[in-house]
Amino acid sequence: MAIAARLCAARALRPPSGLPGIWLIQIRDTHQRASLLSFWDLIPMRAEPVRKKKIDTKKDQAAKDRLKKRLRKLEKANQELIPIEDFITPLKFLDKSRQRPPVELSFEESERRALLLKKWSRYKQQEHEAERNAITSMLKAQQEALQELKLESSELYTEAIKRDSSLFPFEREGPHYTPPISNYQPPEGRYNDTTQVYVQHEFKK
């Protein structure tokens, strides 16, 4: 193979006249056109063929058997349950000494709060009745308008009683407990990550 490559390179270096003994050698190499003499560096002169590794069938079968046995053990073993810390009350909060004593109110303060609660209940009842009366009057007016429209034109009445698909889904925001603060930038703050990491232990070989 090396002799054939040398003959091909020699033919390529001959001048167009074909006269023997005259060789055209490229002196300067550029990044656009490499010299033909650098072709010899690419030819593997004494490359050794790749040898195939011998596979021991017994060792391969034993490794597969160990893997199958390990998988069977993992399937039989019960998985470790991860506790949900949100549903577990810490013991330090169950201490009775941490309970806040009830505040004893005076007779005047208790009467004032009771009267205030009664006034608030009366106000909410009046608000509910006014809202219910307003809805009832609007529904009654709507039914009267539909009956008049039906007498005028049945086509318009049919279009009026069709269901509006744009009403659902209905989305509404609020009311809020406190009014929003304009141009409020919440602080990032610092915190310590105390999240526990649970690792599933595997069986040893």
| Three-state secondary-structure class, residue 41 | helix
pLDDT at site 85: 75
What's the whole-number mean pLDDT along residues 167-195?
A: 80
Buried/exposed code over 35-52 (b: 16+ C-beta within 10 A; e: otherwise): eeeeeeeeeeeeeeeeee
**pLDDT band, residue 18 (cuts 50/70/90):** very low
**pLDDT band, residue 191 (cuts 50/70/90):** confident
E strand or H helix at 125: helix 107-152
pLDDT digits (tens, 9 = 90+) for 102-115: 889 999 999 999 99
Measured CA to CA in angstroms, residue 157 lies from 35, 138, 166 at distances of 92, 18, 19
**pLDDT band, residue 98 (cuts 50/70/90):** confident
Residue 128 has pLDDT above 80, yes or no: yes
Q: Which residue has the tokens 């990032």?
A: 188
Copy the structure tokens of residue 37.
């003499």
Within 13 Å of residue 37, how many CA atoms lie on the same side as its CB? 7
State CA 110 to chain mean position distance. 53
**pLDDT band, residue 137 (cuts 50/70/90):** very high
Distance of alpha carbon 19 from alpha carbon 14, whole angstroms: 8
pLDDT > 70: percent of the chain: 73
Q: Which residue has the tokens 């009046």?
A: 126
| Three-state secondary-structure class, residue 149 | helix
Model pTM above 0.75: no
